[in-house]
Structure 1
Amino acid sequence: MTGRREDGRVTWNQQERIGAGLGALSVALIGGSVAAASLLHDYPLLGGQAVRFAVATLVLFAWGLARRHRFRLPTGRETVWLVLLAVCGMAGYGVMLVHATSVTEPGNVGVAIGAAPLFIVLVRAAQTRTRPALRLMAAATIVFAGTFIAQASANSGLQWSVEGVVWSLAAMIGAASITLLGAPVIPTLGSYTVTTYGCTIAAIVLLGTSAGIQISTGATMLRVPDATELGALAFLAIGVTVLVMLLWYGAMSRLGASRTGLFNGFVPLASLFSVALVGTGSIALTQLIGAALVLAGVLLGLSSRDESASRSQRQEEPASTR
């Protein structure tokens, strides 16, 4: 556990330092997912996401078998959480992210995801029936303020698009759901099993939905992607769906859900630079100001040592590393 030295400085144990590193690395990839999603606007939405999760499922099962990972069958209660995670946090987030980047600036979508910490802190407190730490609440509020400032800006100045705000917030809720819906089952099933089962369910739901729509409407749900689309789908399947989920849940097992959720605040910085790099957006001064405010809130939240936060973290830590 963390503590304070006699001079008042915060000390972190090795597991927490590893968790912070995993969280930071996963966020860099999440920021890249915003840029990748912005390259898929002309590709069938549900079909593309179905392929993404199907590929991720095959990779996860193949790697699990190679390392002789034991996939324990979930209980009825765990199955409910896994289905919710797959539908809302995985498939839902993927679909909403691609659509959100098609109706507003991709950089703004990434910044909106930075508001996830406030949502996570409040909902996680309700889940665990604990009072949220005051510093965590203050940090999450600062993150939300930075998100609001950046979301209200665009390359040409202020942009108040109701559709853009709604879909950006929907993507934020989807991102938060990955943390909130994964937290109840990670301690018992382990991060690898949760990720694999979640991707499997998401792939089945998306493939079934895509097939049903194509049969009923005749709309094309799948086609051969061009080089750019193939690269974006591959990055989303391997770099985001597989690696991010494993890194993120590894961080959660060491830091707890609330503090790990604060790392969503780094997404604005990663996404703003990634969309500028691939040429689907540019960086405005107000976006940088908002992102800097988000970063300040994240750093404040990570320094939280409130007793209730520590108590919540102990409840979330698994009995053994999986």
Structure 2
Amino acid sequence: MATMTHDTAVQRLRSGLILAVVSASSFGLSGALARGLMNAGWSAASVVAIRVLVAAAVLVPIAARQLRGDWQLLRRNGFLITAYGLVAVAGTQLAYFNAVAHMEVGAALLIEYTAPIAVVGWLWLRHSQRPGTATVAGAALGITGLFLVIDLRSGLTTSGVGIAWALAAMVGAAGYFVLSAHGDGTLPGTVLAAGGLLIGGLALLAAGAIGIVPLHATTNPVDFQHFTTAWLTPVLALGTVTAALAYVSGIAATRLLGSRLASFVALFEVLAALIFAWALLGEAPRLIQLLGGALILGGVIVVRRGEVDATEAPADEFATER
């Protein structure tokens, strides 16, 4: 029985890791596609708003079928869905865009992607899940790799306002993993993603309407490194791949892995973004960035090793978070 339980836990980890890498890779594609649209005259907020609303349009019919008329399920999880939409979707995006308005993108990304440390701290304080040696060592490797991947240069300027917004984006990113792992056990991940994306998209439109973020778009052709395409193609890819697929697989991965390990695997998004930027925009990664990617991979492996060992304990993250 103990062997079967251990094998099941290891299988959950493997399945969760595959889904987490799919999610991180899908999220990573968004930057290159969004850059193409922004170069064609779109505002960043417009790209995000159309991205999440297209994803909501894709997922809502699927979510409705999964609900099978059980609207009471939505009411029971209304707070979770609303929090997911406002914090994990809209809040994170708005905070990040306001951060880059006051500081360099690399510095803002570095602050936002310290979210795994915030997740570890939250689980420690809220659920008494003290991080083990493997988690601490993996965090050190992963964050060091993140420094190298982002490749911060000397002379970067920041401001107190920019740092505050970047910290808010970090909190929102941490909230994504914490909220994705929760629920009453009956709420399908697709329903959570669809509801959150719809609420988040409407919140972004409202933010644009009152002037918090600029909303403007064009129908100009979109240029990438080796081809030019109509604006609709990257918009559909953003909505279906980098949002619908990314959020659904991310929720499923977090429910399998727990918010702690899932947040570390999500660091692959930065490396994936570099690879897609190389393929679509011709922005070749530097050697130091490839070294950073290797360190991120090493950090995830170390944290994963710790999670496998933890499955043998009687009280672990799977018991407290599911």
Q: Under a length normalisation based on structure 1, what TM-score does the superposition of the two structures give? A: 0.78
Would the alpha carbon gap of residues 151 and 314 (structure 1) be closer, same or farther in structure 2, given more than 3 Å must change? Answer: same
Would the alpha carbon gap of residues 30 and 170 (structure 1) be closer, same or farther in structure 2, given more than 3 Å must change? Answer: farther
Partner residue, 1:39? 36
Alignment partner for residue 275 of structure 2, among 273, 276, 283? 273
Q: Which whole-Å CA distance do the structure 2 matches of 1:165 and 1:205 have between them?
A: 22
**How many residues align structurally?**
305
Contact residue 27 and residue 243 of structure 2 kept, 8 A: no
Partner residue, 1:178? 176
Listed one character per residue, the Cα deviations across residues 204-249 of structure 1 (whole Å, up to 9, x for unaligned) are 21222223339xxxx9734444342543332221112211111111
Q: Within 5 Å, which residues of 2 pair with 1:171-320?
A: 171-185=169-183, 187-213=185-211, 221-228=215-222, 229-279=231-281, 281-304=283-306, 305-306=309-310, 311-317=316-322
Contact residue 35 and residue 280 of structure 1 kept, 8 A: no
Matched AA of 1:255: L
Would the alpha carbon gap of residues 192 and 255 (structure 1) be closer, same or farther in structure 2, given more than 3 Å must change? Answer: same
Local SS of the residue matching 1:303: helix
Unaligned runs of 5+ in 2: 223-230
Q: Which whole-Å CA distance do the structure 1 matches of 2:95 and 2:33 have between them?
A: 13
Local SS of the residue matching 1:39: helix
Q: Return 269-278 or 38-47, whichever deviates more.
A: 38-47
Local SS of the residue matching 2:300: helix
- Paired-residue identity, %: 23
Q: Which whole-Å CA distance do the structure 2 matches of 1:309 and 1:221 have between them?
A: 51
* Residues 1:27 and 2:29 aligned together: no
Would the alpha carbon gap of residues 159 and 170 (structure 1) be closer, same or farther in structure 2, given more than 3 Å must change? Answer: farther
Q: Which whole-Å CA distance do the structure 2 matches of 1:238 and 1:2 have between them?
A: 41
Q: Which whole-Å CA distance do the structure 1 matches of 2:162 and 2:266 have between them?
A: 18
CA RMSD of aligned residues (A): 3.6
Contact residue 51 and residue 239 of structure 2 kept, 8 A: yes
Local SS of the residue matching 1:13: helix
Report the Cα offset of residue 139 of structure 1.
0.9
Matched AA of 1:246: V
Would the alpha carbon gap of residues 316 and 192 (structure 1) be closer, same or farther in structure 2, given more than 3 Å must change? Answer: same
Would the alpha carbon gap of residues 14 and 76 (structure 1) be closer, same or farther in structure 2, given more than 3 Å must change? Answer: same
Would the alpha carbon gap of residues 105 and 223 (structure 1) be closer, same or farther in structure 2, given more than 3 Å must change? Answer: closer
Q: Which whole-Å CA distance do the structure 2 matches of 1:224 and 1:168 have between them?
A: 28
Contact residue 90 and residue 200 of structure 2 kept, 8 A: yes
